[in-house]
Structure formats: C-alpha cells, structure tokens
Amino acid sequence: MKHYDAIIIGAGQAGIPLAKKLAEAGKKTAIIEQSMVGGTCINNGCTPTKTMIASAHAAHRARMAAKLGIEIGSLKVDFKKIKKRKDEIVESFRNGAEKGLKSIKGLDLIHGSATFSGLKELTVKTADGKELLLSAEWIFINTGAKPRIPELPGLTATNHLTSSSILDLTEIPEHLVILGGNYIGLEFGQLFQRLGSKVTILEKSERIMGREDDDVSSEMTKILKEEGLEILTNTTITAVEGNENKLKIQLKSLEEMRTIKATHLLIAVGRTPQTAALNLDVPGIKINKNGYILVNDKLETNVKGIYALGDVNGGPAFTHIAYHDYTIVYRNLIEKGRHSRKDRPVPYCMFTDPQLGRVGLSEKEAKARGLNYLVAKIPMSRVARGIETGQTSGFMKAVVAPKSKQILGVSILAVEGGEIMAVLQMAMEGKITYDKLMYGVFAHPTFSESINNLFMSIEKE
C-alpha cells in the first residue's frame, strides 16, 4: 500500500490544475487517468469541435462572400486537412497538459483505471498490467461523463456515432441524421451541413433547445433551416437497421410513421456519469438515481475527505464549471477559505453561428418564479456592426428588474454572442444597473456598443 496526501481520479479540467496546485503546496499527490490526459474538453469536446467549427465557419463565410462583393468561385472542402489540423491541435494541448503534470515535483501521474477497495483505498490496474494499492487522506473524483446511448431496436448492431466517435470520421457524411436537438446536436449539425453533408435533426419535444426561451428556439430553428438543415420536432426513432453507411431509420411523429435513409446516425441525447466502475458502494459514497455523485455546496461527498468535481457530480456540465470546482476545494483545503458553489454564475455558450451566449435567468425562468421583470431586446439587424459585417442573424435579449434596475439574465443569439454575454455578466456581477449601461460609452463600431440600444429598447416600450 502506497500512501499519498491526495489522490485525484481523472485528469480532466478540474483534476489537472488541482493535482498541480496540491503538489506545489507540499502535498504528496497522485493523479490517475485511464484514458487520455485532458479529459473530454481537450480530447473529444471543446478543443476538437471548436477547431472544426472554425473550418466550417470559413467555408460558410466563403460562400457568403459574394454578398460583400467578393467572388471566390468554386469552393473545395479538404476534410482530411481539417481533421489533420484538429488532431494536431488536440495532440498539442494533450501533450502540453501531460508534460505540465510530469514537471511538478511531488506529483505522480499514473495511467490506469481506479476502483475503491476500501474507505480511502484504491486498487489501480495500470496500463502495463500491474496492480497498485493506493490510499490517501483526500480523494477527488473527476471521472466526468460519457455520451448516453438510448435503448433502440437495432441500434447496437449499427455503426452509430457519438459526440466522441464522430470526430474520428475521415470522410464527410453524405446524409447525417442527428438524434437530439440541443447544444451538441446543433453544433455538429451546422458544422457538417456547412462542410457538405445533408443533415436531419430529430427532436422528441415540440421544439429544439428546450431549455431556452421560445423566441431563442424559434430564431435558431429559422437560421438553421435557412442554411438547409432539416429539423423534425415531435419525432422519435423507433428502430434502426442496416450498416456500412446504409441505414434505414424508422421514425414516429405526431402525424405519421415513416422510414428515412441515411449514411450516418449521431446520437446526441445527453451524457451519463462515469461512476459505474468506481465501486462507490465500498466507501459508501451516495449517488442519485442517474448515477451522479451527491455532494454538498463545498463539493464533498457524504464521506468526509472524498470530493467529486466536474460533470460527475451532476452540476452544470461545462469545462469552466469543472475548473471552478477545483478552485473551490483548493481554496478551502489549502487556503482555509469558505468558498461554495452556491449562487455562482453559470454562463455558457453554444458555438453555432450565430452563437448563443447565456447567463442568469431566462425570461421563462423569471416568469416561472413569479418575478416582476422587463425584457430588453433588439434584433441584430439593428446592430451597426452586424450590418457592416453582413452578420445580422439573431438578437440580443436581457431580463431586468424594473425597481432595482439590476440585470437578471441575458440571452445573446448573435455573432460573438459569448463575448457580448461576458460583458453583461461582468455588469451583473458588479451590480451595474442597466440604465448605466444604457448611457455607457462603448467604442464604436463594436458589437458590445449596441448594449446601449439594447437597454434603450425598454424605455421605448
């Protein structure tokens, strides 16, 4: 049995910085990774998808260039080059993360799979076939989540894709069907449509992006359909058959049962925590009905000294939230702070084009809470910078409290929507009222300058 001060299971976006900081603070630390250092974000999430989205965006802008007076002619998409660039960037990020871990004194990086074999004891089967017994005063679980695969007749017999395996394609799908009309499905749908695929999105609910306001969903639907994507709502898959790029997918909608043919099927219906192999019942760590580890606001499980960080604890599944989880436990344990995840902001961005940047309350959430609120909204067709650059899809929207004039939340469906959202998030955290932003001085011509006009729309009502 080898004893450490701290062991981290999973080298994701919480585990990596935590391991480094603990070791630098003088704690003898081990970090265990059964797959690739960097977690979902670097290997099959943020980094590869946003790299490929940049290529798809370039193709789309090239097609739209004629509207700006630039004639490009025929367009060629070199998918092998796109994939090579993506792979090189991912490898660079991953190698950098692994090199960073190996450079820290007092930190052991162990490649293998870990399971609990005692209260604070782990059995690790290493990549080279060895078995290690480790223990620690502190254990941090950062094993993340993986794509959830529904039980559908015939699905397991097909080469269906997940958000991970789709990144390994070497050719552009001829007809890509996507099950799931939310953030992951929409990003991939627009990406491959722009690269040359025919794309059909299937959503079981009455609209895509069910978490968002109706007007956000409606506008995004309009934008994607104008680009050529087919979006079928109130539609589910009842069975799949075929293989080798020849699929028959049976659909059920409110109106009919029918079969469509496709070459590829992407399953994008959510994710599930990677907890099954940990033997959490051995230390008695509690999980919820979906397998997520239960933690308190300081991210500690019901077992003292064992914490769960990132997607595995069932909180918002974003890289920046996982990273913030790390800062909470580190500052509490090492700096003796009293930090909590309670009431922290949860900004996020969907990297379609236009982007959706979101933070705080949506209009429907404000309404559900019975709040007194006002809505500020302007279309991007009234934003000078949008008109000048030929990017007028979407709108800016904010929910505000009329009495305090505080900004309660924003939905920015616009080019660089995430960046505009971040400006408003800082105002929210700094308690800057919307009337101050309405008369604020912003550089012209920028997208954020239209924050003036956004809040002036309230005065015009």
- Which class is domain 155-269? alpha beta
Confidence at 339, pLDDT banded by 50, 70, 90: very high
339 is catalytic: no
Q: Which of 329, 281, 338 is nearest to 139 (CA)?
A: 329
User: Residue 454: its pLDDT value, please?
Assistant: 97
User: Residue 277: its pLDDT value, please?
Assistant: 95
Domain boundaries, the chain: 2-146+272-333, 155-269, 354-459
Q: Do domains 155-269 and 354-459 have the same CATH topology?
A: no
Confirm if 219 and 394 have CB atoms less than 8 A apart.
yes
For 249, the enclosing helix (H) or strand (E) is strand 246-252
Euclidean distance between CA atoms 382 and 419, whole angstroms: 18
User: Residue 461: its pLDDT value, please?
Assistant: 53
Across the range 140-158, mean pLDDT stands at: 95
Query: Hey, what CATH topology would domain 354-459 get?
Result: Enolase-like; domain 1 (3.30.390)
Confidence at 255, pLDDT banded by 50, 70, 90: confident
Across the range 429-447, mean pLDDT stands at: 96
Residue 284 pLDDT more than 70?
yes
Residue 460 pLDDT more than 70?
no
DSSP-derived 3-state class of residue 73: coil
Q: Which residue has the tokens 């998808």?
A: 49
Percentage of residues in the chain having pLDDT higher than 90: 97
Mean of all residue pLDDT scores within the chain = 96
Q: What is the pLDDT of residues 208-244, one digit of tens each?
A: 999 999 999 999 999 999 999 999 999 999 999 998 7
Confidence at 102, pLDDT banded by 50, 70, 90: very high
Q: Which of 57, 111, 320, 444 is catalytic?
A: 444
269-295: b (≥16 Cβ within 10 Å) or e: bebebbbeebbbeebebebeeeebbeb
Q: Which of 169, 208, 156 is nearest to 187 (CA)?
A: 208
pTM of the model: 0.95
Across the range 85-106, mean pLDDT stands at: 97
User: Residue 405: its pLDDT value, please?
Assistant: 97
Note the CATH number of domain 2-146+272-333: 3.50.50.60
148-185: b (≥16 Cβ within 10 Å) or e: eeeebebbeebebbbbeebbeeeeebebbbbbbbbbbb
Q: What is the pLDDT of residues 47-82, one digit of tens each?
A: 999 999 999 999 999 999 999 999 998 999 999 999
Helices in 334-447 by DSSP H: which ranges? 363-368, 384-389, 417-429, 434-438
